[in-house]
């Protein structure tokens, strides 16, 4: 096994650099275990004649409690294994550190959009043969969840629970404007017609209310091109300068043209914090937002008791040929390279993937499962008021993951910079897209050069596991 632990894909190194990296990573590893309570000798340790299976999770609070209940059920259901949970903040860095030092957990939850970086650095176990060995059917998962954990033709994670995004709208504001019948626009153009009707400014032109604002929140800027049929790549060729991206840019540029860039900036600066009662959606400053199903948790915590909202699929532009787009976010369970108890870990995975168990986890975390088929009991018990709608959206062919890039963070920041510049009239469309294309081409070339050096051996190795 060859392991490249450099997620930053820095290919320049010499002997002194290697020595420094080893010393720093070793020191950092012992700092990690001192803070987390993990000890190297826990690998292979047994308790009550049970093999310990270490599980790293990225949750605290109610989400951790939900997985903990299932772990307790598993531990009590058999006499061979004992799953031990550890909550780990910043799992991206700490997991790579543990792998590099030869003491990874047996199972770890990772954010799905960092799987490509881990996979290409040979830090995860490809799961295709394990799926076959343990009779895990790919067709049991929604296509979008399975696609989210697939990279270079191999499966790198097990999607368990998941969320999806949709258009959320303030019922009261739409009723006041007498446009309740348009509350579920079928195209982005229809949504913009509603936006114009909901626009309110005072006597001096200061914006008081908008129907929709693409930068509220700005989390989706790097994905908005999907709603215009855009892709990042086509046959490994960048598409950022293609018509769909230009259409998306023109949509963003229409906002300062209609409402004024400086006025939009002032309006945006008046918003309160997202996790607060001053959230722009809760105060009525923005009538419609694109959000995930987690928004219900914030409604319960911060919105006024009489706040009413509805959801609908987030409509796509007519030119896309798509009815809508939804971003799915599956929670992903991985087996790090070097894990000592793969068979025992997979025994727990099989237990977790039973429909009744995944549904229990999803109910506890107020999410969807990753499965294409759920029980009526799950839908009836689920606390989310729009669980049926979200289940339908997530299972549709129009749900998709974020781009699967080893340098996703760089992609996200480059596109966000370009689209923000267009939205506030700091950049011309052509200049912004050209600059983003140049930056992304450099990232692509750098990654591809590195991948080309190892791809043959990596693919051969993964195919034999």
Q: Kindly give the confidence (pLDDT) of every residue in the chain, 465 residues in length, as a single tens digit, with 9 standing for 90 and above.
A: 445 444 543 333 344 444 434 444 444 444 444 444 444 434 445 556 899 999 999 999 999 999 999 999 999 999 999 999 999 988 888 999 999 999 999 999 999 999 999 999 999 999 999 999 999 999 999 999 999 999 999 999 999 999 999 999 999 999 888 776 555 799 999 999 999 999 999 999 999 999 999 999 999 999 999 999 999 988 778 999 899 999 999 999 999 999 999 999 999 999 999 999 999 999 999 999 999 999 999 999 999 999 999 999 999 999 999 999 999 999 999 999 999 999 999 999 999 999 999 999 999 999 999 999 999 999 999 999 999 999 999 999 999 999 999 999 999 999 999 999 999 999 999 999 999 999 999 999 999 999 999 999 999 999 998
CA distance 249 to 268: 19
Task: For domain 15-163+330-396, give the CATH number.
Answer: 3.40.190.10
- What is the pLDDT at residue 455? 95
The second-level CATH assignment, the architecture, of 165-327+405-446 is: 3-Layer(aba) Sandwich (3.40)
C-alpha 335, offset from chain centre: 19
Contact status, residue 323 vs residue 229, Cβ threshold 8 Å: no
* DSSP SS3 for 56: strand
Contact status, residue 313 vs residue 164, Cβ threshold 8 Å: no
* DSSP SS3 for 234: strand
Q: Check residue 151 and give left, alpha or beta (phi > 0: left; psi -120 to 50: alpha).
A: beta
Query: What are residue 369's DSSP bridge partners?
Result: 161
Contact status, residue 406 vs residue 120, Cβ threshold 8 Å: yes
Structure letter (DSSP) for residue 386: T
C-alpha 358, offset from chain centre: 19
* DSSP SS3 for 289: strand
- What is the pLDDT at residue 48? 67
Closest CA to 361 of 376, 372, 373, 351: 351
- What is the pLDDT at residue 338? 96
Q: Is the pTM of this model over 0.75?
A: yes
- What is the pLDDT at residue 175? 87
Contact status, residue 245 vs residue 294, Cβ threshold 8 Å: no
N residues, the chain: 465
CA distance 116 to 452: 15
Distant-in-sequence, close-in-space partners of 260: CB < 8 Å, separation ≥ 6: 205
Query: What are residue 38's DSSP bridge partners?
Result: none
Each domain of the chain, given as residue ranges in start order, spans: 15-163+330-396, 165-327+405-446
- What is the pLDDT at residue 183? 56
Query: What are residue 161's DSSP bridge partners?
Result: 369
The runs of H, that is alpha helices, within 9-60 are: 15-36
Domain 15-163+330-396 matches domain 165-327+405-446 at the CATH topology level: yes
């Amino acid at each position: 096994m060859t392991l490249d632990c450099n997620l930053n894909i820095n290919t320049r190194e010499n002997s002194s650099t290697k020595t420094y990296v080893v010393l720093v990573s070793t020191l950092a590893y012992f700092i990690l275990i001192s803070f987390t309570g993990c000890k190297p000798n826990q690998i292979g340790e047994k308790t009550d004649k049970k093999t310990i299976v270490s599980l790293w999770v990225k949750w605290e609070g109610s989400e951790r409690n939900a997985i903990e209940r299932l772990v307790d059920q598993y531990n009590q259901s058999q006499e061979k294994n004992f799953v031990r949970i550890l909550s780990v903040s910043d799992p991206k860095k700490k997991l790579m550190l543990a792998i590099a030092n030869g003491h990874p957990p047996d199972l770890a939850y990772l954010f799905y959009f960092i799987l490509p970086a881990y996979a290409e650095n040979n830090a995860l176990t490809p799961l295709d043969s394990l799926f076959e060995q343990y009779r895990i059917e790919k067709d049991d998962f929604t296509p979008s969840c399975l696609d989210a954990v697939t990279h270079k033709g191999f499966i790198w994670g097990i999607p368990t629970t998941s969320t999806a995004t949709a258009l959320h709208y303030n019922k009261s504001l739409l009723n006041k404007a007498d446009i309740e019948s348009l509350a579920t626009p079928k195209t982005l153009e229809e949504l913009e017609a509603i936006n114009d009707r909901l626009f309110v400014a005072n006597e001096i032109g200061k914006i008081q209310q908008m129907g929709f604002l693409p930068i509220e929140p700005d989390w989706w800027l790097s994905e908005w091109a999907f709603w215009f049929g855009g892709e990042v790549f086509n046959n490994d060729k960048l598409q950022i300068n293609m018509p769909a991206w230009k259409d998306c840019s023109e949509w963003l540029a229409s906002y300062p043209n209609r409402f004024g860039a400086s006025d939009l900036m002032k309006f945006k600066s008046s918003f309160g914090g997202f996790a607060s009662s001053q959230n722009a959606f809760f105060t009525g400053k923005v009538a419609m937002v694109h959000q995930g199903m987690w928004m219900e948790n914030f409604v319960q915590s911060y919105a006024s008791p009489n706040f009413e909202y509805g959801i609908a699929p987030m409509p796509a532009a007519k030119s896309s040929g798509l009815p809508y787009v939804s971003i799915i976010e599956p929670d992903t369970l991985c087996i790090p390279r070097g894990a000592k108890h793969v068979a025992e870990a997979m025994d727990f995975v099989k237990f977790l993937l039973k429909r009744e168990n995944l549904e229990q986890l999803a109910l506890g975390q107020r999410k969807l499962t990753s499965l294409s088929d759920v029980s009526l009991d799950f839908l009836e018990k689920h606390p989310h008021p729009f669980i049926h709608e979200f289940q339908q959206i997530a299972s549709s062919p129009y749900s998709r993951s974020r781009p699967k890039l080893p340098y996703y963070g760089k992609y996200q920041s480059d596109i966000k910079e370009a689209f923000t510049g267009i939205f506030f009239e700091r950049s011309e469309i052509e200049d912004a897209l050209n600059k983003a294309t140049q930056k992304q081409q450099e990232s692509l070339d750098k990654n591809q050069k590195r991948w080309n050096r190892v791809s043959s051996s990596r693919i051969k190795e993964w195919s034999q596991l």
